[in-house]
Amino acid sequence: MPNRRVVITGIGPVTPIGTGAEAFWEGLRAARSRVRRITRFDPAPFRSQMAAEVDGFDATQWIEPRRAKRLDRCSQFTLAAATLALRDAGLELEKEDPDRVGAMMGTALGGVAFAESEHEKYLAGGLRAVEPGLALTVFVGAASCNLAIELGITGPNITNGMSCASGAIAIGEAFRAVQRGEADVMLGGGAEAPLSPLSFGAFAIIRAMSTRNDDPATASRPFDRHRDGFVMAEGAAVLVLEERERARARGATIYAEVVGYALTNDAHHMTAPRPDGKQAARAMRSALSGAEVPGEAVGYINAHGSSTPLNDSTETLAIRQVLNGHAERVLVSGTKGYYGHALGASGAIEAAICALAAKRGWLPPSVNLNEADPACDLDYIRGQGKELEPEYLLSNSFGFGGINAALLFRSPNS
């Protein structure tokens, strides 16, 4: 079985802090939250009334207007992010063998929010009022299949729905497809458009979200003593992953090398993490051991850091189990303070952060971390970030159902 080296050559973010790699990077450097009171619907009935929205998104900038009209917002995000990633990679798919190019996507809710709006039409006007494409929108595989149809790529294709780890899993599986020789180029990422009353309200009912409605910009605060829940967001990110030698041969910009990926399950609870952090730790440890990288080589961790009381302290515990004494020295940030939690897209957005950080030598801070929780006692980056070029960067993504995904990246300058 081939064991080829895999690199990231294109980044396509569609996020509340910026769309496109450069705007996204500028948003990170600004170190400000984009969380605010929800504008997409009236949030007054809910305990939590804020979110991070993608402002001014116009799908027709990247998708032919008639095609865009037939897609829901989640699929629009998917195609826009993929188009941006391919442009960033300088990759012309018409020159590629379509059988050797594939797509892996992740989404927690997919087209559920769109289905919710269509149900309202059904109640008001019957079945004839409903969008004919509804069945194809709520189809879980819509994200990656829409990419295949739009781009004419016939290689490996999966959309997973593994909650908040979906985007990271998609990138990990894309990495494996190239590593094993099943494809030469893979698009990997996540997309989420969950901001509708029922979808939002479902998370409000279980009291998982922050209620800091009087100051939304400070509501998402990973690892802070006063965190009280996550902040929902929308967005997407798609990465272009290629076999390293072909990327070098065509003169592509290499952001980072993907060297490790692992997946475990807590088998404990649908919403609460396993208290001992054992399986989250095993995911990190397995990503490192699979790449034959010692824990002390890791210079930066982009934590899942959801800003929920249990997740952040458990993740801290898991990191300590993996890195032992090195845990005192590794730099950590939870970047959801910038852009909230885009559920299945978050892992892909954070993988994009790691790739950009690896290339450009700057690590983002944990926005809104003002007073550390004693149970969260690692070296979290604060303020305006840190200029540093770590050789290895680790990204964690954990989700409902006890899923734990870890991705390991290597700097292109190493």
> DSSP labels for 155-223?
S-EEEE--GGGHHHHHHHHHHHHHHTTS-SEEEEEEEE---SHHHHHHHHHTT-B---TT-GGGT--TT
Burial (CB count <10 Å: 0-12, 13-18, 19+), residue 362: middle
In the numeric block, the tokens 């979906």 are attached to 166
Told to judge if 74 belongs to the known catalytic residues of this protein, a careful annotator would answer no
Among the listed residues 37, 75, 35, 40, the one whose alpha carbon sits nearest the alpha carbon of residue 59: 75
Annotated catalytic residue, options 304, 326, 354, 376: 304
Active site residue 326: no
Distance, CA of 385 to CA of 7 (rounded, Å): 25
Cα–Cα distance between 166 and 293 in angstroms, integer? 24
164 is a catalytic site residue: yes
Rg of the chain on CA atoms, in Å: 20
The catalytic residue among 74, 145, 341, 354 is: 341
| Distance separating alpha carbons of residues 4 and 348, to the nearest angstrom | 22
Of 164, 268, 269, 376, catalytic: 164
What contacts 350, CB < 8 A, 6 or more positions away?
Answer: 168, 302, 335, 395, 397
Paired tokens of 195: 């901001």
Neighbours of 44 (CB within 10 A): 8
Q: Please state the φ and ψ torsions of residue 219, each to the nearest 5 degrees.
A: -70, -40
- Buried b / exposed e over 148-171, threshold 16 CB at 10 Å, is bebbebebbbbbbbbbbbbbbbbb
Catalytic residue numbers, as ranges: 164, 304, 341
